[in-house]
Amino acid sequence: MNALRSSLILNERVPMKPFSIFNTLSRKVERFEPLKPPTVTLYSCGPTVYLPQHLGNMRAYLFVDTLKRALRFHGYDVRHVMNITDVGHMTSDEDAGEDKVEKTARAEGKSPREVADFYIAQFKRDCAALNIELPPDADSTDHVSPPQSVLCRATENIGAMIALIERIIAHGYAYVAASGVYFDVEKWRGAARVGRLSRQSLDEQHAGQRLEHSPDKKSPHDFALWVLNQPGHLMQWDSPWGRGYPGWHIECSAMSMKYLGETLDIHTGGLDHIPIHHENEIAQSESATGHPFARYFVHNAFLVGMEGAKISKSAGKFPLVADLVAQGVDPLAFRLFCFGAKYRSELVFSLDALRAAQTNLNYFSEFASNVPDEAVAGPDSEWTAGYLERFSAELADDLNTPRALAVALELVHEAYTRNDKSIWSALHKLDSVLGLKLDERRLAAHAQFPAEILELQKKRDQARAERDFNRADALRKELFSRGYEVKDIPGGSTIAPRRNP
């Protein structure tokens, strides 16, 4: 019954509240206004599945998960699409190099499908460990009625990509050559040659880069929509222009519009996607539809090492979720660690910082584990309402998670100070964004404590509150003799099985 009540708390319809977010298009924090409220269409660039996703990648997916939860907290109905790139992403974000998935497949002596399946499964396990809510897997049908939430693979949406490329060609912004179908960047940008998202000219955007200028390209800035005449490529499909495979950029445009519609409310991604990948998405999408592609672009900053370098696969050794577990760190401590920094700020990775986050996680868990059933079943104390309002206000202020986390910690501290654990509804609502699984932790803790043990703890807390310390000490000894240790905290106590009974 308590679990059912908790579910009802989270699923009750919340009136939409104001929410603001930094829009890379305008370079300022804007009031968020979806096209068709309360529905929000959200597209996020997902993993390229050729290696494990490192903790820098996972920070990006945690940001998306937190944004999605925060929007729901404010009354929005979020339809989320995330892509999985299992073909077409070259070892350069340009068109140069080898397909990343195929490179791994050749090195490991596997098929590209086997490689992709393996790393998709690992990605899903890591997301589960971090309590990241992924959209459901897309089915194989092309009969979709947007908007809908899906996790979709590039190789299962080739038809949508071909159809989009045909529209771009029909509108005069792409041309067919022997080596592929290319997007005409300079024609799209016009005389100014400035990108709307990066605000860089083509010359600035590629300063310091030596672009390969294929004789088939009109300009070195043009990028491939469809690649032809690559007989060594392991994954190929028939198309109106010949057998080949899609370029990386077209995949996101095709899948986002297929499942969410031609204009997105929010498009997310890392800061590194701004100058090339997202500029190209805007160009190819809007040249095909004549409509704005995304109304809000929201970008997250990087996770960096102690030396300040971005954590990336190209750097060689990179930390994984499994490494956290090996170090004795709860993966949800990494979630809390990321929550403690603004999404637009670089976050320095260190085990010391993670262990500090683990301390905060233990603080929440310890409190949740000792919330009695009557506090869950009953109403919250009136004083908790202010904390909900403050938490909501901090999230609505450009997703200010560090200050929202401070509010949540203050709520628990105030409960201890007042010796009042009637805050479960409020804490549970906050945890719908924090994502620390406090409900599961409370239920697991109560499952390991017999009712008579919890009753002894309750009687001892009452004796301490009445300053009957002799009785409190006797009850502590009785709990100890039954195999449980008691730890006194402000406003009550916690219990745990004795380590050496």
Q: What is the 3-state secondary structure (H, E, C) of 45-60?
A: CCCECCCCCCHHHHHH
Tell me how far apart the alpha carbons of residues 459 and 475 are, in angstroms, rounded to a whole number.
8
- pLDDT bracket for residue 206 (50, 70, 90): low
* Residue 105 and residue 159 in one domain: yes
Sole residue written with tokens 């202020």: 397
Boundary of a domain, candidates 234, 265, 300: 300
Domain count, the chain: 3
CA 297 to chain CA mean position, Å: 15
Distance CA 177, CA 153 (A): 27
Ranked by mean pLDDT, the top range of 191-205, 215-229, 304-318 is: 215-229
Do residues 430 and 378 share a domain? yes
Distant-in-sequence, close-in-space partners of 472: CB < 8 Å, separation ≥ 6:
460, 463, 464
3-state secondary structure of 111: coil
Residues 348 and 442 in one domain: yes
Write down the mean pLDDT value for the chain: 90
Q: CB atoms < 10 A from the CB of 311, how many?
A: 19
In a domain, 198, yes or no: no
Cα 209 off chain centre by:
31
Residues 358, 259: one domain? no
Per-residue model confidence (pLDDT) at position 89: 78
Check whether residue 331 and residue 265 sit in a common domain.
no
Full DSSP string of 267-336 = EEEEGGGIIIIIHHHHHHHHHHHSS-SEEEEEEE--EE-TTSPBP-GGGS----HHHHHHTT--HHHHHH
Residue 229 domain flag: no
Residue 251, in any domain of the structure: yes
**466 exposure class (CB count in 10 Å sphere: 0-12, 13-18, 19+):** exposed
What pLDDT was estimated at residue 501? 45
Of 52, 30, 34, the C-alpha closest to 42 is 34
Q: Residue 73 in contact with residue 14, Cβ under 8 Å? A: yes
Q: What pLDDT, on the 0 to 100 scale, is given for residue 214? A: 75
Whether the upstream peptide bond of residue 246 has omega within 30° of 0, thus cis, is no
Tens digits of residue pLDDT in 233-275: 999 999 999 999 999 999 999 999 999 999 999 999 999 999 9
DSSP per-residue letters across 438-468: HHHHHHHHHHHS-HHHHHHHHHHHHHHHTT-
CB 2 within 8 A of CB 377: yes
User: Do 377 and 459 sit in the same domain of this protein?
Assistant: no
| Shared domain check, 443 and 395 | yes
Mean pLDDT for the stretch of residues 96-109? 88
- The radius of gyration of the chain's CA atoms, rounded to the nearest angstrom, is 26
Average pLDDT over residues 125-150: 91
Q: Is residue 378 part of a domain?
A: yes
Residue 496 lies in a domain: yes
Whether residue 489 sits in one domain with residue 467: yes
Give yes or no: residues 166 and 258 share one domain. Answer: yes
Q: Summarize pLDDT for 353-369 with one digit per residue, the tens.
A: 999 999 999 999 999 98
> Can you give the CATH number for the domain in which 55 is found?
3.40.50.620
Diameter of the chain measured on Cα atoms: 91
The whole domain housing 472 covers: 450-501
167 within a domain of the structure (yes/no): yes
Residue 51 · residue 313 · CB < 8 Å: yes
Statement to judge: residues 382 and 437 lie in one domain: yes
Q: Is 400 within the bounds of a domain?
A: yes
Rounded CA-CA distance 195/205 in Å is: 9
Domain boundary among 448, 464, 479: 448
Give me the residues paired with residue 78 across strands: 40
Is 462 part of any domain?
yes
Residue 158: predicted pLDDT: 96
State residue 7's pLDDT score: 45
Give the pLDDT of residue 372.
86
- Answer yes or no: do 454 and 494 share one domain: yes
Instruction: Read off the pLDDT of residues 65-96 as tens digits, 9 standing for 90 and up.
Output: 999 999 999 999 999 999 999 987 765 555 66
- Is residue 165 domain-shared with residue 261, that is, in the same domain? yes
279-306 average pLDDT score = 95
The pLDDT score that the predictor gives to residue 445 is: 80
- Token pair for 193: 């040659």
